Amino acid sequence: MTECSYLESAFRMLAFGEQITNLSTMIGPQVDGAARETTARLGEAILKGGSISYKEGLSLFDIEDSADIFDLLAWANRIRERFKGNKVHLCSIVNAKAGGCSENCSFCAQSAAYSTAAPKYGFVDAAPVLEAAEEALKNSVTAVGLVAAWKGLNEGPMLDDVCKRIEELAASGKARPDASLGLIKTQKVADRLKEAGLECYGHNLESSKRFFPNHCTSHTYEDRLETIGYLKNAGIKICSGGIIGMVETRQHRCDLAFALRDLGANVVPINILNPIPGTPLADNPPLPPMEILKTIACFRFILPRQEIMIAGGRTVNLRDLQSMIFMAGASALMVGNYLTTLNQPVEKDLQMLKDLGLDPNWDKHDFADQEQNVAAAL
């Protein structure tokens, strides 16, 4: 049937009072509006302070049609604007101790188990940390995180050195002192970090509990939860997220998002695997950009009040679609270079934010907006 004859047929049906089920000039079945309606219903509920169930979250991860994905992104953007306004939380990191890590995380170029071109050096002195703080202040970056490649932090001289770097960073007044220092096995270590001025600790769950043994066997998922427990007891805010693109399923991603909701993470970094030669995941196929954006949007539905940060792997995986992370619900961004890979220049990120009408001057160091929003929803 030609387009002309299709329209003629439609007008004849109207003239005789017949019902038209599809007024498209394209030949094909009627578009199913169920996903659109479900997304709108869940989005409206969240805007009113509600939350979604695991089953509802999983249904969002399973959306396939591109038009429905764009609906999902649009609602995620509304949720971001409702709870975060136009503010974007910027963070940067310092590779404070590089390479030679005893753990066997299959995505990590710094593991001693793999032969990679990643740098190796001992714990840094004050100079690079304070330089990073100066850069942060100049570029509206809220936090500087000290990241160390080792299994974890114990009592002893190294803890003293770490606390000294944190104290120096806090005293500079130029950036919020953050750190990601691996596993913590005692409350005393967490308390020392808090006393030194640490405000937020990065400790990713990495993946769902069920998928975790697929990419790490040198420590457990429960070890990570234990560490987060000690930090929360010390009054330290939690930055915890994961990595997508490790051949995990959508259900694994959904599991991770709900686990992060349950533990009360303040910042949720989403990393996209950037396969590093020499690691077991070196040949992993990349996730399609739209699958990445859909994942971000699903996390925003599940975690409407959290800072959802897009971190490692965004430039290589999203390419020209990087600015769409904010439409997908992201409210935070890691800027500057990553641990072992390059990021785009911070000036380009700042211009992107300006073009989108977003403000990087984020001053909610205590994450009080999350607590207020939670109270309002109860």
What's the pLDDT tens digit per position in 83-104?
999 999 999 999 999 999 999 9
State the average pLDDT over residues 349-365.
Answer: 91
Q: Please tell me the least confidently modeled range out of 32-36, 292-296, 313-317.
A: 32-36
Between the CA of residue 118 and those of 93, 115, 337, what are the distances in Å?
A: 16, 9, 13
For residue 186, the Cα-to-chain-centroid distance in whole angstroms is 27
Under 8 Å between Cβ of 135 and 100: no
Mean pLDDT, the chain, rounded, equals 89
Residue written as tokens 């500057």? 336
pLDDT band at 339 (very low <50, low <70, confident <90, very high): low
Could you read off the pLDDT of 146-190 as tens digits, one per residue?
Answer: 999 999 999 999 999 999 999 999 999 999 999 999 999 999 999
Specify the pLDDT at position 32: 59
Checking if the pLDDT of 293 tops 60, the result is: yes
Q: Would you tell me how many other CB atoms lie within 10 Å of the CB of residue 208?
A: 21
Q: Which helix (H) or strand (E) holds 161?
A: helix 157-172
Specify the pLDDT at position 342: 60
State the average pLDDT over residues 124-128.
Answer: 93
Of 192, 196, 159, which Cα lies nearest the Cα of 177?
196
State the average pLDDT over residues 339-361.
Answer: 87
Between the CA of residue 239 and those of 112, 178, 188, 290, what are the distances in Å?
A: 25, 9, 20, 25
For residue 175, the Cα-to-chain-centroid distance in whole angstroms is 20
3-class SS of residue 30: coil
Checking if the pLDDT of 19 tops 90, the result is: no
Could you read off the pLDDT of 36-78 as tens digits, one per residue?
Answer: 999 999 999 999 999 999 999 999 999 999 999 999 999 999 9
Task: Give all strands (DSSP E) within the chain, no chain letters.
Answer: 89-97, 143-148, 152-153, 176-180, 183-184, 200-202, 237-239, 242-244, 267-272, 307-310, 332-334
Checking if the pLDDT of 266 tops 90, the result is: yes
Specify the pLDDT at position 371: 64
Checking if the pLDDT of 312 tops 60, the result is: yes
Please tell me which residue, 352 or 31, carries the higher pLDDT value: 352
Q: Would you tell me how many other CB atoms lie within 10 Å of the CB of residue 190?
A: 24
Specify the pLDDT at position 368: 74
Does the pTM of the predicted model rise above 0.85? yes
Specify the pLDDT at position 8: 44
Checking if the pLDDT of 2 tops 60, the result is: no
**What is the Cα–Cα distance from 323 to 119, expressed in whole angstroms?**
30
Specify the pLDDT at position 325: 98
Please tell me which residue, 282 or 5, carries the higher pLDDT value: 282
State the average pLDDT over residues 309-320.
Answer: 96
pLDDT band at 336 (very low <50, low <70, confident <90, very high): confident
How much of the chain exceeds pLDDT 90, in percent?
83
